[in-house]
Amino acid sequence: MLGKWKKSKPLAVLLLSLLLLFSLSTSALGFGSDAKGPDVFAVQGMLKSMGYFPGEISGYYGPETVQGVKAFQKAYGLPVTGAVDDKTLQAILWAYGNLKLPKAPAPKEEPAPAPAPNPPPSDNDSSLTPEEQQMVDLVNEARKQEGLQPLAVDPELTKTARLKSQDMVDKNYFSHDSPTYGSPFDMMKQFGISYSTAGENIACNQSVEAAHKALMESPGHRANILSKDFTHIGIGIVNGGSCGKMFTQQFIGK
């Protein structure tokens, strides 16, 4: 399961196209095992972007697609049938659409917000865990391959990324908007982090490698990772959530 925070007109067009596709071609009975065609292709693509489908996007509704749909249905409290009925389709469209959120504007002068909650003691240590360092290395290797400068680790941004991941685990949600901290931009402001531009990727997966691979295969998340606008990164990885681990990547440009 993934989430990203980046303005992207092509992605908005893609989502609209997918909505039109399903409204035109999906019957009330839905579809399931052994189905094939553009509807299956689109469902596989959305599930893969959210981390539920590890297979190849082929347009064929095989066993891997059935398992991916079941995992999604279980995570969203739907009947676990493995078939895409109307309710499952609407939930997939909603979850996928909720990942397409705007890029942060430059901060404006506003009244000072309420004092931010104090981070727990474990977050006072800004050094990266081995998994967090592994994800930073994978991100910077991807940037190197594109001829981009590596992102520097920002200790304060790492703290907020960890808090965001922990909050998603504790409050059992998956969204850029936190019931505790608000948007990523609200959160950064609360903790005194200044930036000229900012973004966020979130993911729910079982390992660093799987999360990074899924992020890089999703155009919007890849765009954040490879953005020339960003100069610093914070990584927060916390055990928990429906997929095993919760990942938050927060990016800023200074």
pLDDT one-digit tens code per residue, 76-130: 788 999 998 888 888 887 777 665 443 444 455 555 454 444 344 333 345 899 9
Contact between 203 and 1 (Cβ < 8 Å): yes
Residue 30 has pLDDT above 90, yes or no: no
CB atoms within 10 A of CB 63: 10
Question: What is the number of residues in the chain?
Answer: 254
Summary mean pLDDT of the chain: 79
Q: What percent of the chain has pLDDT over 90?
A: 45
CA distance 142 to 136: 10
Residues 242, 173 contacting (CB under 8 angstroms): no
Whether the predicted pLDDT of 54 surpasses 80: yes
4 compared with 166, residue with greater pLDDT: 166
Q: Reply yes or no on whether the pLDDT at 196 is more than 70.
A: yes
Q: Sheet harboring 197-205: ordered strands across?
A: 100-101, 2-5, 197-205, 245-253, 232-239, 152-153
Least confident of 65-69, 117-121, 248-252: 117-121
State yes or no: pLDDT of 72 exceeds 90. Answer: no
165-198 residues labelled b (16+ CB within 10 A) or e (exposed): bbbbbeeeebebebeebebbbebbbbbebebebb
Least confident interval from 35-44, 67-76, 219-228: 35-44
φ and ψ of 81, to 5 deg: -110, -25
Letter string b/e over residues 243-252, b meaning 16 or more CB atoms within 10 A of that residue's CB: bebbbbbbbb
Q: Is the pLDDT of residue 231 over 80?
A: yes
Cα 53 from Cα 71, distance rounded (Å): 9
**Residue 2 — very low, low, confident or very high, per pLDDT cuts 50/70/90?**
low
Q: What is the DSSP letter of 6?
A: -
| Angle formed at CA 98 by CA 96 and CA 103, multiple of 5 degrees | 115
Q: In 3D, which of 176, 180, 187, 168 has the Cα closest to residue 242? A: 168
CA distances to 6, 169, 197 from 104, rounded to whole Å, are 8, 24, 6
What is the reported pLDDT for 165?
95
Q: Per mean pLDDT, which range of 23-32, 65-74, 200-209 is the poorest?
A: 23-32
What's residue 113's pLDDT? Answer: 52
Q: What is the pLDDT of residue 164?
A: 96
